[in-house]
Amino acid sequence: MAELVGNVLVGQSGGPTAVTNASVAGIISEALNHECIEEIYGALNGVLGILQEDLIDLASESQQQIRALRHTPGAALGTCRYKLKKQQDFERVLEVFKAHNIRYFFYIGGNDSQDTADKISKLAQQQAYELRVIGVPKTIDNDLSVTDHCPGYASAVKYIASAIREIACDNEAMGQGDLVSVVEVMGRSAGWIAAGASLAKRRDHPHDPPHIILLPEVSFNQEKVMEDIRRVLKREKYCLVVVAEGLVDADGNYVAAEGNTDAFGHAQLGGAGDALADIIGQAIPGVKVRVAKPGLLQRCAAHAVSKTDADEAFLAGQAAVEAAIEGETDKMVTLVRGDQEHYTSETGLAPLADVANSVKKLPREWINEDGVSMNFQFLRYAQPLLQGEVTIPHDMGVPIFARLDRVRVDKQLPAYET
Amino acid sequence: MAELVGNVLVGQSGGPTAVTNASVAGIISEALNHECIEEIYGALNGVLGILQEDLIDLASESQQQIRALRHTPGAALGTCRYKLKKQQDFERVLEVFKAHNIRYFFYIGGNDSQDTADKISKLAQQQAYELRVIGVPKTIDNDLSVTDHCPGYASAVKYIASAIREIACDNEAMGQGDLVSVVEVMGRSAGWIAAGASLAKRRDHPHDPPHIILLPEVSFNQEKVMEDIRRVLKREKYCLVVVAEGLVDADGNYVAAEGNTDAFGHAQLGGAGDALADIIGQAIPGVKVRVAKPGLLQRCAAHAVSKTDADEAFLAGQAAVEAAIEGETDKMVTLVRGDQEHYTSETGLAPLADVANSVKKLPREWINEDGVSMNFQFLRYAQPLLQGEVTIPHDMGVPIFARLDRVRVDKQLPAYET
């Protein structure tokens, strides 16, 4: 393999996670090891920054800040949900790459982003522009195929499981068989995150909270769920219910669809949690219902980052650079689980085309027959991913995170309309 | 002062905090030092447990569990919102105390609880039953008078300020001048917690998030607030708004009222965040609004406990026992701030009657003229309280908390109807 001399471009795309910046740190630290890499640039706000030639010089950032990326949530380069559509957009990307001699492109993102990376890679090949494109997986949704799991997922789940243990202490103190606590979690079409809440249970304590998990995969049967709640309230001081935002009824309609109205014709505010609280309040007289909706905290809670997750995100970044240097292109880094009893993982590679726009579903056989709890197969899959804690530096009592200087790279091209 | 030989009873009341169990640990560890104290009992669920003679033997708990109370949220003895009303209830309390030779009663709680403790103390005096009653302050609301601040408050604020720094990382990555993030925090009648969100700002960075804090003390002027949000969106990539659940309009009506009231007649609130999101969505076309409602997490987030707060809660428990041993009664432990530049605190005592049912308001002069941010006086008050972090032990990736054995004390009396 002939050595390819040129510059690196890194981009982040889609919703941030608590560890996506760790992948950026992995890419930068590995890229510095290779002499064939001359400059290390970042694209601001993913493909938007490429189209608009908004690039920053990552090599000029301080080492402290790059190290701090390993515990900084969000997306330090900015991100976007912009989808390249027109052929002209793709042409522009290549123009920008050529203008800045980008020979290595690393794109950190989910399905859509890997699809974009794939198309950019294919166009470069058509144009005989030598470019190595490697995707780095990232999503709390854990729905990318070909990889055992996705960086970002474990930290979201660790956050939810930890929050449930904390809330359970409060509920246990307050409940007298009359308290229902509803925690609404992310997950529009798959219950990966809601399922993760089950990790709050101690081993061999099936009656531990969360008592009921309402997954998007199991259509909401109001009568059955209310009966489940009543049963828990007879046994326990409180009933802790986790509900995925994407809970649907038997007809496939969201339980909390925008535009729904209540019995009085008022527009229904809030999401699945509030809708469920309303249903419970009406179905079980005298019960007190409390709703928590951690919202974005699920994907940016640095304090609950899994060390395993953060380390794997960093490694995935490093592996992307190593693979590109070795001549690989049009691939995504995957995480491959070892086959020993004790959890191990290493990185692998899969064609971008195999990843793009396919979805990994939560296996139905990991859901218990009751439809509201997870079995040992899920536990065996997810628990090792949560191991280890990351210490976050604090200043004046609050956590401090990386802030990049964002030194701009001079533009070489005329402006482009997006 | 003649030595008073007898048993200790500890109770917890009202909403839990992240550090109220640290006060229980302080009481137990100090009580063990004094020979005049024979047994150390806990009342399950506050006064409810006293009325029903549901007492547990705290001296038989393992030292590990008592130590673990120092980082365990909730209320390990259980708590209640039951308010002693009838004279008969108070008589029953004394009957139970006499049956178990309770000579030291420590009640950890807020205004209502201190009022209850005061009444119990007064009745004992009337009946010439020698009893020493010391209250220990506890409330995330920080609304107890006579004490500089309340154990529990600083950890709630540290949680909120930390969460805002985390959410800000996410918002900064996603926003393009079109994103409004709404975080709903607790605070029915006072903005102590919402104000605490301002500690997320770096020193001398007034434009840091939270950009807008909507306090219950400042009536909601929709036009003005929408203008504030528009101004922030012109300057920043996103606008982070903190709203107290008790936000009221110019007529004093809650922006989001649900109509229910609790046992003390307080209005049950929830939904100010969703109500505000709805208003913003209608007033500012094209804007994307995300709501987070941490709910109970604000008062049970062990991971964000302030070490200063946890230590003071423990000390307050110890001080309560010391005071009682020295012959004090009918007092509440207070926290007294030193007058040096460097923060110090020590415990003091104040008559229960001075505490009961009075309320400490957030000083208006600590709110900036813009009505949506706090000035240096608040910063100087609150910031020292957040200092220091507490490490929580984890098992299988999730935090582990104390679980008491709750060995029951034999009942001596006939049952009592509450």
d(CA A274, CA A260): 12
Does the distance separating the beta carbons of A267 and B271 come in below 8 Å? no
**What dihedral angle (degrees, nearest 10) is formed by the CA atoms of A113, A117, A118, A119?**
100
Q: Tokens representing A87?
A: 């052929």
Closest Cα of chain A to B398: distance in Å?
5
> Over 90: is that where the pLDDT of B189 sits?
no
B172, B297, B386 member nearest A294 (Cβ): B297
DSSP state of B192: H
Residue-level pLDDT at A377: 96
8 Å CB contact between A200 and A213: no
Give the mean pLDDT of B126-148: 96
Residues of B in contact with A396 (CB under 8 A): 199, 203, 383, 386-387
Of the candidates B115, B141, B228, B330, the residue annotated as catalytic is B141
The 10 Å CB-count burial string (b at 16+, else e) for B221-231 is: eeeebeebbee
Residues of A in contact with B200 (CB under 8 A): 398
Residues of B in contact with A24 (CB under 8 A): none
d(CA B22, CA B61): 15
B319 CA to centre of own chain: 19
Residues of B in contact with A209 (CB under 8 A): none
CB pairs under 8 A between A and B: 185
C-alpha angle B18-B23-B28 in degrees, rounded to nearest 5: 135
- Rounded to 10°, the helix B20-31/B307-325 angle is 40
Q: Tokens representing B221?
A: 């002027």
* Dihedrals phi, psi of A399, to nearest 5 degrees: -65, 145
Touching B: A residues 306-365, CB under 8 Å:
306
3-state secondary structure of A275: helix
Residue-level pLDDT at A137: 97
Touching B: A residues 64-93, CB under 8 Å:
72-80
8 Å CB contact between A298 and B163: no
Predicted confidence (pLDDT) per residue in B377-386, tens digit: 999 999 999 9
Chain B residue closest in CA terms to A203 = B396
Predicted confidence (pLDDT) per residue in B25-79, tens digit: 999 999 999 999 999 999 999 999 999 999 999 999 999 999 999 999 999 999 9
**What dihedral angle (degrees, nearest 10) is formed by the CA atoms of B361, B367, B371, B374?**
-120
Q: Which of A268 and B340 is assigned the larger pLDDT?
A: B340
Closest Cα of chain B to A35: distance in Å?
31
Chain A residue closest in CA terms to B69 = A169
Q: Is A386 on the interface with B (CB under 8 A)?
A: yes
8 Å CB contact between A134 and A106: yes
> Over 50: is that where the pLDDT of B261 sits?
no
Q: Is A12 on the interface with B (CB under 8 A)?
A: yes
Does the distance separating the beta carbons of B270 and A170 come in below 8 Å? no
Residues of B in contact with A65 (CB under 8 A): none
Predicted confidence (pLDDT) per residue in B200-237, tens digit: 999 999 999 999 999 999 999 999 999 999 999 999 99
Give the mean pLDDT of B409-414: 97
Residues of B in contact with A22 (CB under 8 A): none
Closest Cα of chain B to A168: distance in Å?
8
Q: Tokens representing B178?
A: 């079109």
Does the distance separating the beta carbons of A399 and B78 come in below 8 Å? no
DSSP string, B2-63: ----EEEEEEE-SS-BSSHHHHHHHHHHHHTT-TTEEEEEEETTTHHHHHTT-EEEGGGS-H
d(CA A44, CA A58): 11
What are the DSSP E strand ranges found in A245-324? Answer: 288-292
8 Å CB contact between A63 and A172: no
Touching A: B residues 222-251, CB under 8 Å:
none
> Over 50: is that where the pLDDT of B262 sits?
no
Q: Is B297 on the interface with A (CB under 8 A)?
A: yes
Residues of A in contact with B295 (CB under 8 A): 167, 290-293
Q: Is the ipTM of this complex over 0.85?
A: yes
8 Å CB contact between A146 and A354: yes
Residues of A in contact with B12 (CB under 8 A): 173
8 Å CB contact between A199 and A210: no
B165, B174, B274 member nearest A269 (Cβ): B274
Hey, CA dihedral for A21, A23, A26, A28, is it positive or negative?
negative
Closest Cα of chain A to B157: distance in Å?
10
Does the distance separating the beta carbons of B76 and A173 come in below 8 Å? yes
Q: Is A171 on the interface with B (CB under 8 A)?
A: yes
Segments of chain A with pLDDT less than 50: 261-269
Closest Cα of chain A to B224: distance in Å?
23
Tell whether pTM > 0.90: yes
Q: Is B200 on the interface with A (CB under 8 A)?
A: yes
Chain A residue closest in CA terms to B396 = A387
> Over 70: is that where the pLDDT of B247 sits?
yes
Touching B: A residues 109-168, CB under 8 Å:
158, 161-163, 165-168
Hey, CA dihedral for B352, B358, B360, B365, is it positive or negative?
negative
Q: Is A302 on the interface with B (CB under 8 A)?
A: yes
Does the distance separating the beta carbons of B203 and A172 come in below 8 Å? no
Closest Cα of chain A to B207: distance in Å?
15
Q: Tokens representing A340?
A: 């020993």
Does the distance separating the beta carbons of A270 and B169 come in below 8 Å? no
Residue-level pLDDT at B255: 87
- Provide the CB-side half-sphere exposure for B77 (13 A, CA): 37
Residue-level pLDDT at A257: 59
- How would residue B118 be classed by pLDDT, with cut points 50, 70 and 90? very high
Does the distance separating the beta carbons of A306 and B303 come in below 8 Å? no
Mutate one of B45, B56, B174, B291 to test the A interface: name it (highest A CB count within 10 A): B174
Chain A residue closest in CA terms to B17 = A170
pLDDT, chain B, mean: 94
d(CA B347, CA B312): 9
- How would residue B269 be classed by pLDDT, with cut points 50, 70 and 90? very low
8 Å CB contact between A147 and A312: no
8 Å CB contact between B306 and B387: yes
